[in-house]
Structure 1
């Protein structure tokens, strides 16, 4: 019997019955269906100006006549046996078997295949079961599922015809070892807090609810019945308002460590963080492909202290202050993805070092490990960048760049550059570098003597020149043989030396941090 809320399948399309009754201007009874596939729908539940039902997604509704072609689904065990148990042909019978790779050209006789089928049909040994798209609509009488397949650890009931969480709970109650439950692309009625769900999901550690269009409140109601849940996937649900509501829920003790919110429509960073604060053990969050535009600095009560991985790729972050604020929100952050944000796209040449320098705990950025050398280079470049492009006073620098004082203490404060208006000519853009042809310094005294006594040679180069080209220019300026290797050491303000090694030859001089007044010790290798 069909009633509103039930799920049906028709011509391989799955939908939810939203209306049963007459439609003005037409005879007989109609079913108002909201289809899971938006391309199948024709309207949003109204006809000739009269509304008969409402769709969660606009344009996914249509009217359908009741018919025998409508499938109302099967029980869990019917679907399981249909997929995993092949019908017997009779003991000892010979069968023609077509070799799959021969496209029907090769057939062989096989004897006693029923013995093989009997062995494979022992569903009691199944640990991983996928009934994705198998039209499961209901559970079975109590005890029958557990008697048939008690060892299931992972169960995929995606694209099913199940409409209520009570049915899901009735199936899960029969599977005492169930750890992973996938319910993607289903449409459930709102869960009701009652005793029917309690105790049914106790062993569950992973839940996937992608593209179910569930609200955040309904999701939190469900996971509250899962005391061991660690991994939660809720992508493609159209979520916009994700926040903790103390009037409807209490702080969770569920030990969730991973939350995947990929491809929703979340825009408020503070609101989503207030929701994630509900999970005190949270280590990994995926917020890729959302609409987050800014990340303000947190208040003293906010923060995600356990968070180690964060994916923010393909959002709408535009300001460097958003990246700096992440250090306060997630003080243990070790891995971050930011590709696809305007702040990265607008600074394609130097975005990576500017991100690395802002986040001291970061170990991986956009999937690439950060070496100790890359971090040092990035932080030195960052200091130079702040002096050249940031505020003038140290107070403003500390406010705009939280790591300014820390990095100045670590590497020494860079020289101030007094900028004067100059015409935008090629000459005005050239960098002046001071070269010293010398031997390799062995200590600080030796270095100071070389700087005092060495002959200075000034060369002018464009900041867009790559290091490999500079190396050739230095070789020529100092009179080295064309086949002689050249070692260049950048002298910092505190007389520390930074080797400009060949593995950075493809980087331009501005990325490396060279600027007018930079001093280079050069000697043959």
Structure 2
């Protein structure tokens, strides 16, 4: 008996609920000697690569024999396969029946929508049922009417009506792998899909999609879709442009988020022609600089891209930032926070000196390892020539686990001191700034900044603690200091009726030091009657924030400026 699996396909390991990609099916030598029994030689093993590399034991090689190669070193392991035992079949932990197999293929889009939004058993539509009772449902046109009996018709029709009003389809963590299974998709299913014409954003984070073609099939049934989230994916690395595979399926997408998905910049450049109308791209927490060095260059696509988020992508050289992002023609906002960039060359003396970032207006570089005034001055040189006019800078120093600002290299350099002179020095160097760390730069402040910067240059301080303080504001009333520390979180209400959409807040401002409980209170107050009588919970990056998190600070939960929080009613 052969395992019912396909190589290069993604599955969920039932016992651990961990996603993986199947790389190998077959025998594995388990001993270094030739003492294996015939039964041992006939055993079938499954070679998998785990999304979480910590679960792996090797890279596809065992006892010197290479069976496959994992994309991430050390992320692979072998699972011994046994034919399924029907007697052990049970209700699975993922909302489906456990058929005894160790790997689960996941849900189709149809099943995921039913499980998350309908929560109602729909009738079998294979055969028309003639009925005229009060619980009948008519499908089809007047020329081909089909009447079927539906239990709880009022509940079904009400939920179908809700689908028609949905603008956000949140299927994160539902382990969707494709549009529909073979044989799935009766008339009622198709009617359900037809009602999704108003959906503008789709969250498929935490999916089991194995092919770009399968993703394209899903996108095609949502004609109004412009926003797509694919975080925690493992779609295959494209070897060439996807145009011949997906056609124009992705042309309407203007906002794409694909965090933590093993995407390199080489992959991004190959995707650019398929996502040709992107205006916002979030590729944070990806190994952008992996792969070929020649792949680290600006793509000829993305001519409409205005915002790029590339935080925590292990970019260590400023030259890579310039090569990858500098020539994007429409780029206005760039976020390169949490990248280990330790130095920046002056643009005028750089071998790559050229006009780059020509339309950039805002640079975000939070938790940076840049803290030397020379490097910060060099950074400013890249944005100090026409037509480049940087209007907004958001910058803060990286801190270690104990909350101390990191100190590196020799102490004889002039460094940031954590005083208000830091802000003055930054304003003086980035001369076109209108806003620094969300606080407006006034004319009086600019004049004072120039004087303090001159003083710093005349009397450099040595061996001082390094810190860029987000909240340091000069020539400002004290009462504004808390406001400057606040972060704005984006809010999504996927379960709210359409008629309430205009009354719900789109963002909420809160201190990073506030607890989740405080955020819940502020949110309930801001939403008013929409949440007054309903129990609700919050989700962030595909995970539910529960009662155990109520007293945890938002900063400790990983929430940052611009992050999206999903509000779900219970």
Give the shorter-chain TM-score range: 0.5 to 0.7
Find the counterpart in structure 1 of residue 173 from structure 2: 133
The one-character-per-residue Cα deviations of 1:349-377 (angstroms, maximum 9, x if unpaired) are 23221111111111222333323322221
Alignment of 1:430-445 (within 5 A): none
Match for residue 367 of structure 2? 314
Q: 2:217 aligns with which of 158, 161, 170?
A: 170
Residue equivalent to 2:29 = 24
Question: Which structure 2 segments of 5+ residues have no match?
Answer: 31-39, 85-100, 124-132, 136-150, 399-406, 408-412, 462-473, 479-570
Q: Secondary structure at the match of 2:363?
A: strand
Query: What is the CA distance between 1:76 and its match in structure 2?
Result: 1.6
Which of the numbers 31, 38, 60 marks the counterpart of 2:75? Answer: 60
Q: Deviations over 1:377-425 (max 9, x none)?
A: 11111122323349xxxxxxxxxxxxxxxxxxxxxxxxxxxxxxxxxxx
Matched, 1:70 2:98: no
CA contact (8 A) 1:244 1:271 kept: no
Q: Aligned equivalents of 1:502 and 1:196: distance in 2?
A: 56
Output one character per residue of 1:458-488: Cα deviation in whole Å (capped at 9) or x when no partner. xxxxxxxxxxxxxxxxxxxxxxxxxxxxxxx
Aligned position for 2:8: 5
Contact 1:308–1:332 under 8 Å retained in 2: yes
Q: Which of 54, 62, 65 pairs up with 1:50?
A: 65
User: How many angstroms apart in 2 are the aligned matches of 1:249 and 1:359?
Assistant: 25
TM alignment of 1:89-238, pairs within 5 A: 115-122=154-161, 123-140=163-180, 144=190, 147-191=194-238, 192-193=240-241, 194-238=243-287
Bigger shift: 285-294 or 335-344?
A: 335-344
Segment of structure 1 superposing worse, 224-233 or 72-81: 72-81
Corresponding residue pairs, total: 377
- C-alpha root-mean-square deviation of aligned residues, in Å? 3.3
Within 5 Å, which residues of 2 pair with 1:362-441?
A: 362-389=433-460
> Is 311-320 or 183-192 further displaced after alignment?
311-320
Tell me, in whole angstroms, the C-alpha distance in 2 between the residues paired with 1:173 and 1:502.
Answer: 52
Q: Which moved more, 1:128-137 or 1:64-73?
A: 64-73
Rounded Cα–Cα distance in structure 2 between residues aligned with 1:280 and 1:302: 11
Alignment TM-score, normalising by the size of structure 2: 0.60
Q: Does 1:83 align with 2:153?
A: no
Shift of 1:161: 0.9
TM-score by length of 1: 0.65
Structure 1 residues 315, 49: CA separation in 2 closer, same or farther (over 3 Å shift)?
Answer: farther
1:83-129 residue CA offsets vs partner (Å, 9 max, x unmatched): 21122599999xxxxxxxxxxxxxxxxxx975244312343432211
Query: In structure 1, what is the Cα distance between the partners aligned to 2:441 and 2:68?
Result: 54
- Residue 182 of structure 1 deviates from its aligned partner by 0.4
Deviation at 1:345, TM superposition (A): 7.0
Whether the 8 Å CA contact 1:244–1:278 is kept in 2: the answer is no
Q: What residue ranges of structure 1 are gaps of 5+ in the alignment? A: 94-111, 391-499, 505-525
- 2:340 maps to 291
